Amino acid sequence: MSTDTSQGLVEHEWVQRGRDGLSEHWLAYLLVLPTMLALLLILWLPFTRGIWMSLHEWPVVGERTFIGFDNYEFLLGWDTFYISIKATIIYGLSTVLQLVIALVAALLIVNQKWFKNFTSSLFLLPYTLPPVVSGTVWLYLLDPNFGPILTALTDYGLLENGLFWRSSGDLAITVITLVGAWTFWPFMFIIILATLQSIPEEHYEAAKIYGANRVQRFLKVTLPQLKSAIIVAVTLRTIWNLSKVAQPLQMTGGGPGYDTSVLGILLYRFASDNGRMGLSFAVGIFLLLLTSVFIVVFIRENRRSQQTELK
């Protein structure tokens, strides 16, 4: 067979492979097209509609007027809006406390043989309660007049005349942040415990052979293999914390004043109490931007962690 003939056969084979690959790609696109259209309809249509509404004076009843970026200018020039952002960030960063509790709890029971399942079930109880229920329980426990916790502290002389925490902005945001951490830390506990159980025992045995103590084994073996799981868990919990409304609204109503009005409550107030849907959606856009900042940071950190592991 001549060289030209061989080259022609090779070129023909490559062309045929390219056509087959193109056909497979088009088939794949056609198969996922219904799903993509459904996502476009369900996710992006409401999103773009919300952006359009935020550019209007949009009452629940009455004439709707296009006002451009006036809603955004109003929020940026409103001092209370920055108080709400501060409350949102503080409540969102309760993720750090959730992580600490979850990590300590998982490390304490990961090597248990007899009571691991029972202890894990107890730890998961706060997460099984609806946030409204757990909020009601804590409202009773922390009631300054008849709540058992504050009453006991007053009886033992640790408090004077009770503690009316809902009348203080700093105390109120602290309480709802702690209650939020208590309610949602089991989510991170599940992820961390599952990751701990997947770490091969041989890694710890090798570290012991090289003379590593418990602290060194945690820092050099456990923590590096937990890093990706922790980043994922922190990312999800931070997103959810930033968008939480039910528990803070139930416990403080956003008060005193606007000190605990996280952006979700502010959005609810504009929409429900004032009927200003355009302004409400403008708050939602700012909440989306704030959430996106955390998402980008965590995704970059996760990517950097994975690249380090590959090296």
Q: Is residue 68 part of a domain?
A: no
Q: Is residue 269 part of a domain?
A: yes
Q: Are residues 13 and 85 in the same domain?
A: no
- pLDDT tens-digit map of 189-210: 999 988 888 888 888 888 888 8
Which is nearest to 70 in space by CA: 52, 55, 90?
A: 55
Q: Is residue 305 part of a domain?
A: yes
Take residue 240 and report the two structure tokens written for it: 């959810």
Strand partners, 276: 59
The pLDDT of 282-299, averaged and rounded, is 85
Q: How many domains does the chain have?
A: 2
Q: Are residues 37 and 128 in the same domain?
A: no
Per the structure, the complete domain to which residue 11 belongs is given by 3-43
Distance CA 219, CA 22 (A): 49
The vertex-51 CA angle with 36 and 39, nearest 5°, equals 10
Q: Is residue 282 part of a domain?
A: yes
- pLDDT tens-digit map of 92-114: 888 889 999 999 999 888 887 77
The vertex-287 CA angle with 244 and 226, nearest 5°, equals 65
Take residue 248 and report the two structure tokens written for it: 């803070």
Model pLDDT, residue 10: 44
Is the entire prediction scored with pTM above 0.75?
yes
